Amino acid sequence: MRRLVALFVLFAVTAAASPAEAGFGIKVRGGYSYISYGGWNAWADDFNGKIPSGIPTMDNINWLPEISAEFSFPILPTFSGAVGIGYVSGKSDFSYDAVGESLSFLHKVNAMPLVFNVYWEPPLISVNPFLYGGVGFYRTSLEFDYWLTSGGDRIGYSAELDKWGFGLQAGGGVSIPVAPAMSIDVGLQGRWADVSGFDGTATNQDDETVDVYLADYEGYFGPEEKDAGEPEGSVDLSGVMIFIGVSFGF
């Protein structure tokens, strides 16, 4: 009888620690991404190098919070596919007030990637490694606010631009079972996504609206009127993400 009880306990512990058989599931993750965001950061560094000491500096856009959710489905015993959506957002701002004058810059970026991944997840007992890779389609939106107030007059503009872009991602980590159909995931992801071709509209202090595109040239990164002839800019979302999440099987 004792042997039977011991075998039952051993079976129960093993079953609880083992991952569920390959099936449908949901993966929810959150973490921080480090992105290069080339054009804006180069312009911010140039701006900061020209302003006098004691004046606030322009922020770079590098470390951004990111979340994602994926629905997974079986392909082969150790392979599964997944389709999901994510969200990454960041901003940079600058403001300075002097006697009777003020200057403010604000730039925001929001990206919502639709991803398609393939996972390799070998079924082990306690800690399960996984690798994945796939493609993404990034709905990226930009906001710019540049305003100068002097002598009671306010000049500047607010602009909104957007674009769908293509990206690639790959990563890996470990999955730690905490219940028969639930695990904690910890991992690292790399991504390439350089989005260009932005367009949108800008509105000035007189509520006049013009069509704009994203320009990037010496001393400037931001919206420019259509047909201005300046070089086109891009938003580089490439980088790495450290994440932790939860996976559910059903």
Residue-wise pLDDT tens digits, 128-146: 899 999 999 999 999 999 9
Give the whole-angstrom CA distance, residue 212 versus residue 199. Answer: 6
Give the whole-angstrom CA distance, residue 183 versus residue 233. Answer: 42
Residue-wise pLDDT tens digits, 159-204: 999 999 999 999 999 999 898 889 999 999 999 999 999 999 999 9
Residue 59, token pair as written in the block:
């922020």
Span of 55-59, 80-84, 144-148 with lowest mean pLDDT: 55-59
Give the whole-angstrom CA distance, residue 56 versus residue 48. Answer: 9
Q: Exposed/middle/buried for 5, CB within 10 Å: 0-12, 13-18, 19+?
A: exposed
Statement: residue 6 has pLDDT above 70: no
Query: 146 forms bridges with which residues in the sheet?
Result: 105, 157
Q: Could you tell me which residue, 77 or 16, shows the higher pLDDT? A: 77
**Confidence band of 7 (pLDDT split at 50, 70, 90):** very low
Query: Residue 178's CB: how many other CB atoms inside 10 A?
Result: 12
pLDDT at residue 2, rounded to an integer: 45
Statement: residue 15 has pLDDT above 50: no
∠ Cα 11 130 83 (to 5°)? 110
Backbone angles phi, psi at 17, to 5 degrees: -85, -15
Tell me which residue of 198, 171, 29 sits closest to 111, measured CA to CA. 198
- Do residues 125 and 14 make contact, with C-beta atoms less than 8 angstroms apart? yes
pLDDT at residue 22, rounded to an integer: 52
- Strand, coil or helix: what is 85? strand
Kindly state the greatest CA–CA separation across the chain. 92
pLDDT at residue 11, rounded to an integer: 33
Give the whole-angstrom CA distance, residue 65 versus residue 33. Answer: 6
Residue-wise pLDDT tens digits, 17-40: 344 445 799 999 999 999 989 889
Statement: residue 239 has pLDDT above 70: yes
If you average pLDDT over residues 45-61, what whole number do you get?
Answer: 86
Give the whole-angstrom CA distance, residue 174 versus residue 57. Answer: 40
